[in-house]
Amino acid sequence: MTSNDESLKAKFTSKNTSDVLEDEIAFCQKLIGVLEAEGGICELPKIKEPLNLLKETVADVLKQLQISEDHVTKVGHKSADSSVFGYKTHIAMTEEQIITATVIKTSEKNYGMQLQTLIEKSKATGKEKKG
């Protein structure tokens, strides 16, 4: 090992050994920071591709953690074997495709249950849905 290899190795924090997701994310973020601070090393194909994958993975995990903190959101089903996590937008519109009413509910709510609310909101606008 050259002295450059040793100096780079010294910049890395010790590997995470806990089973805590937040600790693993912190370790990965530190690793990304050290590699990006080195500049030229990030352009090597054997570093660049795995580094980009790691950055994307960390971003995806952070996004999922943020979504999972939404305690109102529920899991709903589009079909017997297809689920949805989030919200559903229920829309009423005229034949000319002008939106007359909307209702946003958590995804476990059935579309049919919102029909009466959509009709009432459309009547209030004076633009009832036809057909």
HEC string for 86-119: EEEEEEEECCCCCEEEEEEEECCCCHHHHHHHHH
Six-digit token string for 122: 């459309």
Computed over its alpha carbons, how large is the radius of gyration of the chain?
A: 25
Cβ-based neighbours of 42, under 8 Å, separated by 6 or more: 35, 36, 48, 51
pLDDT band, very low/low/confident/very high, at 5 (cuts 50, 70, 90): low
Do 90 and 116 meet the contact criterion of CB atoms below 8 Å apart?
A: no
Element (H, E) at 33: helix 21-37
| DSSP three-state, residue 81 | coil
Residue of higher predicted confidence among 108 and 98: 98
pLDDT at position 131, please?
Answer: 45
Confidence check: pLDDT of 27 > 70: yes
- Domain range annotation of the chain: 3-68, 74-125
Confidence check: pLDDT of 37 > 80: yes
Six-digit token string for 42: 């990030």
Mean pLDDT, residues 115-125 taken together: 85
Q: Among 62, 104, 111, which Cα is nearest to 87's?
A: 104
pLDDT, mean over the chain: 77
pLDDT band, very low/low/confident/very high, at 1 (cuts 50, 70, 90): very low
Q: Give the pLDDT confidence of 40-66 residue by residue, as tens digits.
A: 888 888 888 999 999 999 998 888 777
DSSP character for 111? G
What's the pTM value of the predicted model, to 2 decimals?
A: 0.46
pLDDT at position 101, please?
Answer: 87
Q: Give the pLDDT confidence of 70-97 residue by residue, as tens digits.
A: 666 666 666 666 666 667 788 888 888 8
